[in-house]
Amino acid sequence: MMPRSLFGLFLLVSLVFVTACDEEFVPIAPDGPPYSLWGNLDPTKDHQVVRVVPITGTIDEELDFSGITLRSVNRDTGEEQTWRDSVVTYEDGTRGLLFVSGFRPVHGDEYEVRVEGPEGKTAYARTTAPPAVTHSFVLDPGSQSTSGELLFPDAPRLYSSQTQYVLFFREGDLVGEPPLPSPPPRFNPCDEVVLSFDEQKSVASIEYGWKVPMNLRANFEAVNDEMDARFGIPIDPNDPNTATRPPDYGVRDIRFRTYVADEDWAPPFPFDFDPELLIEPGTLSSVRGGFGFVGSSYRVDWSWPPEVIRRLGVVTEGC
């Protein structure tokens, strides 16, 4: 009968497909790069640290560090550095393979850091230690001026630029009485608070380096708002839900911090160090044959002159 024959045909065709459709599933791309390298060669320090991260097949895979070596060479002088490995356990319980070397990179020299695994797989990064630069501050004209520019001539790059406000609480307020409904940290007279504000977006290039325009008075409004938000005191002590004001505080110091870095320390969009952007592998990487970033940078600090700070009308003495 025709219909029953068709039914049999159906089963036959199905079986043919069944045997023909098996395939191998490879969830992890084969032959991926073996290592990520992370480190900063600091020409102002006498020891350097580079981390080698083996690229694993799962996020919680047990790491095997055996047979991994790290070498580096000054490509300008041919001098090789000695590195010793160290396995550390971080606070979060993860383990890491660190290589430590007791040398100080020379400003302006190029270094190559190369990792090699037991099976001969390698990855390397090259970086040039940035030159030693001298910075200068130019205050805008005017007897009550609180703005100016910090100049970094000959600096290849600046990153992680920020201003830190070192503040202290003064007596006379309802100290220790946190406003409701969300109590801030308790504070006492002379306790210090450090507020940091990102300045990286203000960094601008000039013909032979970089400048950081700064306006202390404008920035200080943000400091006041932050102090109000974190330590605000109810204007009406009997009504904790009323508006608040910042506590009575003085300014111990206002200091600027940045890092002078090599040319490679450059995000794809100028000055945009957005972690959502940079986390994509390869977006900001100096490593060949692998992932990660090994750069070279050093820290520079500068403090606002006290006489300029006092122009804000704040107390700088006490405690």
Partner 1 sequence: MECRAWGKFLPLSFPAGDVFSLFMKQSTVNLSKVPRHRETEAGRWGRVVWVCLGLLLISSSAWAQSTLRGFVRDASSGEALIGAHVVLRGADEELRGDATDADGLYVITNLQPGDYIVQASYVGFVQHRDTIAIPSGVHLYSIEMVPDTELGEVTVEAERVSGQTDLVAGQQHITPADIRSVPAPDITGDLANYLTTLPSVVTSGDQGGQLFIRGGEPTQNQVRLDGIPLYQPFHLLGFYSAFPADVVGSADLYAGGYGAKFGGFLSSVLDINSRTGNNRSLEASAAAAPFVSSASVEGPIVPGKASFLVNGRLSLIEPVASPLIGRDLPYSFADIFGKVQAQTGSASHLSVTALHTRDSGSLGDPDSERPSEIRWSNTAAGFRFLTLPSTLDMRGEVVLTYTDHSNASGPEDELRESNIDRFGVEFALEYYSRYVNINVGGMLERVTLQSRLENLYENFEDEDSEFTEVSFYLEPEFNLGPLQFRPGVRATLNPTKRRTYIEPRGRAILNLGRVDLTAAGGVYHQTLVGVSDRRDATSIFTAWTAVPAFTGPSAVHGVGGIRFNPVDPLTMVVEGWTKTFRDIFVSEWTSFPRLTTNLVPADGTAYGADGRMEYRKGDSYIAVNYGLASVKYEAQDPFYEAWFGTNRLEYRPPHDRRHQIAVFAGTNIAGFDISARWQYGSGLPFSRPIGFDRYYYQGEPIEPAGDSGDPRVIYERPYGAELPAVHRLDVSIERTFDLDGWSITAQAGAVNAYDRTNLLAFDLFTLRRTDQLPIVPVFGVRLDKK
Please tell me what DSSP assigns to residue 226. Answer: H
Residues in 50-89 at the binding interface with partner 1, rule: CB under 8 A? 50-51, 53-61, 88
Tell me if 259 sits within 8 A of 156, measured CB to CB.
no
CA distance linking residue 292 with residue 294, whole number of Å: 7
Q: Give the nearer residue to partner 1 in terms of CB position, either 33 or 184.
A: 33
Token pair 């430590």 in the structure block, residue: 100
Q: Say if residues 139 and 148 touch (Cβ distance below 8 Å).
A: yes
3-state DSSP assignment of residue 33:
coil
Of the ranges 43-51, 101-109, 113-121, 227-235, which one interacts with partner 1 (CB under 8 A)?
43-51
Stretch that binds partner 1, among 14-22, 106-114, 117-125, 211-219 (CB under 8 A): 14-22
- Among the listed residues 150, 173, 200, 189, the one whose alpha carbon sits nearest the alpha carbon of residue 308: 150
Phi, psi of 288 (to 5 degrees): -105, 135
**Residue 126 CB, nearest approach to partner 1 (Å):** 16
Q: Does 263 bind partner 1 (CB under 8 A)?
A: no
Cβ closer to partner 1: 4 or 185? 4
Contact between 98 and partner 1 by CB under 8 A: the answer reads yes
Helix (H) or strand (E) holding 126: strand 122-128
**Out of 283, 301, 305, 318, which residue is the one contacting partner 1 (CB under 8 A)?**
283
Beta bridge partners, 221, equal none
Closest distance of CB 215 from partner 1, Å: 22
* Contact call for residues 291 and 33 (beta carbons, < 8 A): yes
Q: Does 94 bind partner 1 (CB under 8 A)?
A: yes
For the segment 147-176, give every residue that binds partner 1 (CB under 8 A). 159-160
Site membership for partner 1, residue 289 (CB under 8 A): no
Number of residues interacting with partner 1: please give it, by CB under 8 A: 71
Q: Give yes or no for residue 17 binding partner 1 (CB under 8 A).
A: yes
The answer to whether 267 contacts partner 1 (rule: CB under 8 A) is yes
Q: Is residue 105 part of the contact set for partner 1 (CB under 8 A)?
A: no
Rounded to 5 degrees, φ, ψ at 188 are -130, 160
User: What part of residues 189-248 is at the interface with partner 1 (CB under 8 A)?
Assistant: 200
